[in-house]
Amino acid sequence: MTSFDDQLALCDKGDEIVYHRGFHCMSLFSDTKRNPEAQAAWNAYVRGDVLLYQRRIGPDALEYCAKALR
């Protein structure tokens, strides 16, 4: 699977990256609070490269998305 940063480097402005599907993107078995893809998406958001949002795809299931701004 291609990493979030690789996908971001290849996408065009306005493209959507779905970086996680499931109930939440927090890591349950790690010292870090976010899984690595979610952390990379957050870092891109802080840099102003993406807009982050969620989309419900079913009961207790979400898609975590990033829309490229640059």
pLDDT tens digits for 16-64?
A: 999 999 876 655 555 556 688 999 999 999 999 999 999 999 988 999 9
pLDDT tens digits for 4-29?
A: 999 999 999 999 999 999 876 655 55
Task: Give this prediction's pTM.
Answer: 0.83
Domain tally for the chain? 1
The rounded distance, in Å, linking the Cα atoms of 62 and 24 is 7
The rounded distance, in Å, linking the Cα atoms of 9 and 50 is 12
**Token pair for 49:** 């490269």
Q: Which domain holds residue 27?
A: 4-68
Based on C-alpha coordinates, what's the Rg of the chain? 12
